[in-house]
Chain A
Amino acid sequence: MKQFWYGLALLLFLALPPVRDLLESVMAFHMHMQMLLLFVSGLLMEPFFQKHFGGVFDKYNKTGLPGVVLFLVILLYWMLPRTMDEALEIWFVELWKFVSLPFLAGVPLRDSWKKMSQTFEIVVFMILMVIFSVMTYLYIFSESTLCNNYLMIDQQTVGWGFAFFVLCIVMYILLVLFTDQSQYFGDDSEA
């Protein structure tokens, strides 16, 4: 439950007007820091929902697949340049961002993660890799600004940020595939 409070505190912190102003003033902070942290706050808050609404998860997210699909839909939605513009200009879209990323992406993904096999985890990472590669290409090479509120250079920065995400995901997939990760579970008391 401690995690829930940390998650909630993070969410509220991100919602503070000066924090929002700062993080939204630079496109890369907006996309790669604010949105990412909103998602993380959802991950942290999941145990609370598990405890109080466990039944809902059991019923609708039995295999874990629905949760992943919901996560991907929300993710893809926020990858559209237009949605960022709207979040900056229309208050209820901004509110939607603060609701959707934690509660409809972070929470379901953590619930699903426990139910998924390792193979499936890698598939999810591969999907993310593809999505982010497309974003890398789009944002670095696009000839015009895709987001009205930001400059070309901001956009290219985000593109490079995605490039590094892709790099890290690729390295992670290789790590999981070619090393025995189970050796890193547990502690000495079991040995």
Chain B
Amino acid sequence: MKKPLRIVTANKLALTNLATAFALLLVGGFFGLLQGLNRAGVLTIVGGMNYYEMLSLHGVLLILAFTTLFMNGYLWSAVDYVLGGLTKGIKTLGWAAYAIFMVGAILVAIMIIAGEATVLYTFYAPMAANPWFYIGLVFVVLNIWMSGIGVFISAFRWKKQNKGKHLPLFAFFAVGVYVLITFGTAFVAAEVFYIIPWTLGWIDTINVLLTRTLFWAFGHTLVNVWYLVAVSAWYLVVPKVIGGKLFSDSLARAVVILIVVLNVPGGFHHQIVDPGFTEGLKFMHLFMSLAIAVPSLLTAFALFATLERTGRRRGGKGLLGWFWKLPWHDVRFLTIMLAMISFIFGGAGGIAQTNNQLNQVVHNTLWVVGHFHVTVGVAVVLTFFGLVYWLIPHLSGRVLTKKIHNLGIWQTMIWTVGMLFMTLSMSYVGLLGSPRRTEYTTYGGSATALEWDPYLIFVGAGGTLLFAGVVIIVYIVFHLMFLAPKGYTEFMMVEEQEEDAHKTPKWTENWGLWVIVAILIISMGYVVPLVDLIGNAPPGSPPIRTF
């Protein structure tokens, strides 16, 4: 008898999340294109939505909505697959979470399109949007918590039924991801519940610096959650695609724990130029910020080891011969490999800009926009794209055709070249002083501003390529969901680790302890600034509408 094929049981739920994610990518990417063309000076935006409304929507749709839905679709599939199915109750919870997300997202989007919430995705006080905007955000947060609860319960049940066994690594990643994002969203929930009464007029003024601090405890954690989601694929999917083995199960688990435990206080590095914090405090936080580089460096080490060993097994000779033996023509590898390479540069830029003096040079310039389009737009998003080619056919019961595979290679090249144009020019023109979050202007023909123009052209050119990339990937997703020939596609996940790897210690499973340690470290980072901000609070600001 043939063994029944293992599949993700909650495939409809996952597909719905993924389909919505890519639909939102299309919309968000379209606004990105308009912004890029505007910055290049070739498109003046008149009528309809203004530049800042678009930018608000671009930020919210891409860094919040697309990523959240992709995470839910991908990690729920993984948890479902490795734990041998989700219960009916959990699936219902997943659908409820999706519905709540849609309610929130629609509220937020309507408010932005209606011009009631032109506050950008950071919604810094004292700019005040329509209260419905914030209420919409609460719904989005609820989605995240519900999705987290679904994963926690499933993992807990599995542990009960499989006493003494390790939670499968993919589920371990998922638990880590949702624990971390729960910490992060706790801060933004606190912020939003502070802002809502203020926009409703129940309280007169708001402590601006407090809201910014709460925001970045969240915002920073959020992007690192996206990074951790991508890392899960780097550890588990890449070795499978290239026919290698997991470098070390215990190392991967240690990396997850470190990222979860150390991450949140790093948020302070977004406030290096905020007034009202002492230099000593900012200096202490430099360490917290740099600490996050440690798990990333461990990851880099483990991944290069996997790549090298596999390349050598495939017959690579000499110092670098293994490099060319890797399956570059396989889109599932090419995408993620380029993503990982981009993270070397993105990570290095991040380490640079977390230093006080360097931060003052680049803060609020296009450099920063260049930085996060490399880290999120390539390292994370290209990894997500790379998963599409097998995850979606697995879920939809179809197979990837040669044609679509080749189209995927093109998509990857277009995306990479587009991002190279856009991020390199953004980074450079940022160093020349061109500000972020600013509609095209020459400042009345000022010589300095005119100097930026040649570079800004490339922002527009890169943006155009990128939008083409968005259209192609959305078509690919659509094809793999509805048009591709029926068949079985394997769920790509490495099952074996290298023989010489350590046996995984059991303490890694102690999530109760990791949560306590994380709370301890978060309080080390935030008690000092928060007590000061609240204890020495200035009179505060009334709501201000700049739009």
Chain A positions within 8 Å of B, measured between CB atoms, are: 22, 25-26, 28-29, 32-33, 153, 156-157, 160-161, 164-165, 167-168, 171-172, 175, 179, 181, 183-189, 191
Contacts and interface: CB of A to CB of B under 8 A. Distances in A.
Given A28-B527, A164-B519, A184 B507 contact: yes
Given A160-B527, A164-B520, A164-B523, A187 B505 contact: yes
Contact of A26 (B166, B281, B503, B510): B281
Interface in B494-508: 502-507
Contacts of B509: 183-184
A164 B510 CA distance: 21
B444 interface: no
Contacts of A189: 503
Given A164-B519, A164-B523, A171-B519, A191 B164 contact: yes
A147 to B, nearest CB: 16
B365 to A, nearest CB: 30
A191 B162 CA distance: 13
Interface stretch (B193-201, B323-331, B464-472, B530-538): B530-538
18 contacts: A26-B278, A26-B280, A26-B528, A153-B535, A156-B531, A157-B527, A157-B528, A157-B532, A161-B524, A164-B519, A164-B520, A164-B527, A172-B516, A184-B513, A185-B506, A188-B503, A188-B504, A191-B165
A28 B513 contact: no
A26 B282 CA distance: 12
B276 interface: no
Contact of B512 (A25, A156, A165, A175): A175
B211 to A, nearest CB: 19
Contacts, number: 79
Chain B interface, DSSP helix/strand/loop, else mixed: helix
* Chain A binding surface SS class: helix
A25 B524 contact: no
B516 A171 contact: yes
A118 to B, nearest CB: 15
Interface of B: 163-166, 278, 280-281, 283-284, 502-507, 509-510, 512-513, 515-516, 519-520, 523-524, 527-528, 530-532, 535-536
A187 B504 contact: yes
Given A183-B163, A184-B506, 20 more contacts: A26-B280, A26-B528, A29-B528, A32-B524, A153-B535, A156-B535, A160-B527, A168-B523, A171-B515, A171-B516, A175-B513, A179-B512, A181-B510, A183-B509, A187-B502, A187-B503, A187-B506, A188-B503, A188-B504, A188-B506
Contacts of B503: 187-189
Contact of B531 (A25, A153, A186): A153
A169 to B, nearest CB: 9
Given A171-B516, A172-B516, A186-B506, A153 B532 contact: yes
A23 to B, nearest CB: 9
A17 B26 CA distance: 56
A185 B284 contact: no
A175 B506 contact: no
Contacts of A168: 516, 519-520, 523
A153 B529 CA distance: 11
Contacts of A22: 280, 283-284
Contacts of B284: 22, 29
A175 B524 contact: no
Nearest to A29: B284
A161 B530 CA distance: 11
A186 B506 CA distance: 6
A184 B527 CA distance: 31
A22 B528 CA distance: 14
Given A29-B284, A175-B516, A153 B506 contact: no
B536 A153 contact: yes
